[in-house]
Structure 1
Amino acid sequence: MMLQDKLNTLQSNIKDMGSLAVAFSGGVDSTFLLKVARDVLGDNVIAVTACSSTYPEREFKEASDFAKKLGVKHIVIISEELDIEGFAENPVNRCYFCKHELFSKIKNVAKEHGIEYIADGSNVDDLGDYRPGLKAVNELGVVSPLKDAKLTKDDIRHFSKEMGLPTWDKPAFACLSSRFPYGHKITKEKLNMIDKAEQYLLDLGFKQVRVRYHEDIARIEVSPNERNKFFNEQLLDKVYEMFKQIGFKYTTLDLKGYRTGSMNETISL
C-alpha cells in the first residue's frame, strides 16, 4: 500500500466512525491520531488522558498543551495502576491489567459524552513485540485506526512532520512500570526514583532514555548513538553522584543501548 493510500484509508475509516474518544498520552502515535481525528470529525472527537504515578508530569504537560493548542476537548481521568489487584506484583501480563482498567474508564467517559468509538494509538510495528495490553484492547472493543490503516511508526513520523506536529521526532516512551524486571514489586517510591533519574538524564541533553530498576542497581539505556557521551569522566561522576542521591547504590550503563522491550528479553513467549 502506498504511503498516501494509508493516510486516505485512516481518514476514511475515522470518518465512518462518526465520533471518537482517543486515548491520548501525548506520544508520537496518539498525537498523530488525535490530529487526524480532529481534522476529520471536528468537535465529534475528544481526547482522554489518564494520570497516575506511572505517567511523568512532563508527559502530561506536553499532552495537555497540545490538546489545548489543537482546540480539542481534553478530559483527564485518574487511573492509578498500583491500586489494581495484581498489578504491583508485576506479572508478565502486567499491561493487561493496566489497559483493561484504562479503557474501561474511557468507555464510561465516551458514554457520558455520546461518543460511539474508543481508539488507541497502536500501529503495525506494535505487533512485533510482546504486548499483553492488546488483549484488553480487543476484549473491550477498542479500535486501532493506525494499525488498521497499516501505518508503521516511520509512516506516522513522516506524516507528523508534514503536518508540523511537535512529536514527529519525539523519542518513544512507555510507562514507568516498564522499567522493572517482571516479578519485582512496583511501588510509588521506586517509580519516583526512576522518574527523577530519567528526568536528570533528559536535562543533561540525552534524547532517548530508560533507567531500568534492578534493586540497588540502576541500568541506564540511551540510544546507541548517544552512548559515546559517557566517555567523559566528569559526566560519569555527575551521573553517579546524582543517582546515589536519588537512592541507587550502583549505576551501570547498558552497553547495547536503548531498545524497545528490553525487559521482555528475559521471558519465554
Structure 2
Amino acid sequence: MTQNLSNAPIASDRLDRQLETKLTQLRQILAEAQKVLVAYSGGIDSTLVAKVAFDVLQDRACAVTANSPSLLPADLDDAKMQARAIGIEHQIVATAEMENPNYTSNPINRCYFCKSELHDTLKPLARSLGYEYVVDGLNADDLHDYRPGIMAAKERGVRSPLAEAGITKLEVRQLSHYLGLPWWDKPSQPCLSSRFPYGENITIEKLQRVGRAEQYLRNLLRDAGWLWDVRVRSIGDTARIEIPFEQIPKFINNINLTNLIAAFREFGFTAITLDLEGFRSGKLNDAIVQTFQT
C-alpha cells in the first residue's frame, strides 16, 4: 500500500521494549481466554485482534462480521479478503439495528443500540459454537472518546484485549506493520451511520446514498494514489466532504470537481461542500461535548 495517511506512524520492522511487552501481554490475554469469537469489522483494530488470536489459538479463534446497511459492501469485501489472508475462520451474520427506532432516530447514544444488537447476536452464537469469550477491537485511545457502545459491550461480557494491554491506535498500526499485515496503514472506517448529525433520522436509502458517494470519493483518491482518511457527511440533502486539511489544495487542484459534483447530484445530493477545517475523527461529537460543558 502507498503510505499517504496524514499523521502516519513511522513503520518499523522492530519493536521497542514497551511495545514488545504489550504484544506479549496481548498474546497472553488471548491464550488465557482459550477460545474466542472476534467481533471483526475488517478495520485495523479488530483485524489485529483476529491476527493475533489466530496466531495464538489457531482453530480456537473465529472472526465474525456483522453485515447491515451501515456497512459499505467494499468494506465487507475487505473483511473477507483480510480474514482469508490471516487464515482465521470467518463467518458473516446479519444484524437488525435498522428495525430499532432507538437506533434509527439517531440519538446521541445511537452506538449503544448498535452494539447492543451486535453483541446480542454474537453472544448466543459464541455460546452455541463453544467459544468462551467474545472479544472486540476496542483500543486504549477509544476509552477517552465518546463511545456509548462501550457500555453495551461491557454489559454483555465482551472483552477488549487491545485496551486491556494498553495498546493505542498508533501502536495498532505499528504492530500490524511488524506482524506483516499489508493493510497496516488502512484508513479508519466507522459505520455509515456516523455520517449523520445526531437527531437526523437514519434510513436505508440515506445510508445507501452516502455510501455510494463515499465509495466514489474513495475510488477517486485511490486512482490518484492517495490513501487518506475521508468522510462524506450527510446533512439533510447536503454532502459535506472531509479530507485531511493539509491535502485540501492538492484535492482542489487535481480532482475534476465538475465530475464529482455531477456524480454526487446523481446520488441524490442537492448541495456538495468541502469542509475547510479538514477531516477530524469524531467531529460530529463536538456538539455533545459543548452541551456537557455548558
Partner of 1:78: 94
Partner of 1:208: 229
Report the Cα distance in structure 1 between the residues aligned to 2:111 and 2:255, rounded to whole angstroms: 38
Partner of 2:33: 17
Question: 3-state DSSP class of the match of 2:188?
Answer: coil
Give the letter aligned to residue 262 of structure 1: K
* Residues 1:223 and 2:239 are matched in the alignment: no
Report the Cα distance in structure 2 between the residues aligned to 1:43 and 1:234, rounded to whole angstroms: 46
The answer to which of 213-222 and 1-10 deviates more is 1-10
- Deviations 1:147-168, CA, capped at 9 Å, x for gaps: 0000001111011011111220
* Residues 1:144 and 2:160 are matched in the alignment: yes
The answer to which of 219-228 and 179-188 deviates more is 219-228
The alpha-carbon deviation at position 229 of structure 1 amounts to 2.6
The answer to which of 238-247 and 98-107 deviates more is 238-247
What stretches of structure 1 of length at least 5 have no aligned partner?
Answer: none
Q: Aligned pairs, how many?
A: 269
Q: TM-score with structure 1 length normalisation?
A: 0.97
Report the Cα distance in structure 1 between the residues aligned to 2:253 and 2:19, rounded to whole angstroms: 43
Which of 47, 67, 76 lines up with 2:63 in the alignment? 47
Partner of 1:5: 21
Partner of 1:29: 45
Report the Cα distance in structure 2 between the residues aligned to 1:48 and 1:257, rounded to whole angstroms: 33
Report the Cα distance in structure 2 between the residues aligned to 1:70 and 1:123, rounded to whole angstroms: 20
List aligned pairs for 1:45-124, cutoff 5 A: 45-124=61-140
Partner of 2:10: none
List aligned pairs for 1:116-135, cutoff 5 A: 116-135=132-151
Report the Cα distance in structure 2 between the residues aligned to 1:246 and 1:127, rounded to whole angstroms: 36
Maintained 8 Å contact 1:53/1:80? no
* Residues 1:160 and 2:176 are matched in the alignment: yes
Partner of 2:4: none
The alpha-carbon deviation at position 188 of structure 1 amounts to 0.8
The alpha-carbon deviation at position 235 of structure 1 amounts to 1.8
- Deviations 1:238-269, CA, capped at 9 Å, x for gaps: 21111111111111000111111111111224
Give the letter aligned to residue 128 of structure 1: H
Report the Cα distance in structure 2 between the residues aligned to 1:251 and 1:152, rounded to whole angstroms: 35
Give the letter aligned to residue 42 of structure 2: G
Question: 3-state DSSP class of the match of 1:65?
Answer: helix
Maintained 8 Å contact 1:89/1:183? yes
Give the letter aligned to residue 49 of structure 1: T
CA RMSD of aligned residues (A): 1.3
Maintained 8 Å contact 2:96/2:117? no
Give the letter aligned to residue 131 of structure 2: I
Partner of 2:12: none
Give the letter aligned to residue 180 of structure 1: F
Report the Cα distance in structure 1 between the residues aligned to 2:19 and 2:213, rounded to whole angstroms: 39
Maintained 8 Å contact 2:213/2:264? yes
Larger RCO, structure (CA 8 Å, separation 6 or more): 2
Question: 3-state DSSP class of the match of 1:50?
Answer: strand
Runs of 4+ in 1 over 3 A off after TM superposition: none
Which of 265, 268, 277 lines up with 1:244 in the alignment? 265
Maintained 8 Å contact 1:51/1:80? no
Report the Cα distance in structure 1 between the residues aligned to 2:249 and 2:112, rounded to whole angstroms: 37
Give the letter aligned to residue 77 of structure 2: K
- Deviations 1:57-103, CA, capped at 9 Å, x for gaps: 11101111121232221111001321123111000000000001101
The answer to which of 221-230 and 237-246 deviates more is 221-230
Report the Cα distance in structure 2 between the residues aligned to 1:178 and 1:122, rounded to whole angstroms: 17
Maintained 8 Å contact 1:54/1:191? yes
Report the Cα distance in structure 2 between the residues aligned to 1:108 and 1:85, rounded to whole angstroms: 23
What stretches of structure 2 of length at least 5 have no aligned partner?
Answer: 1-16
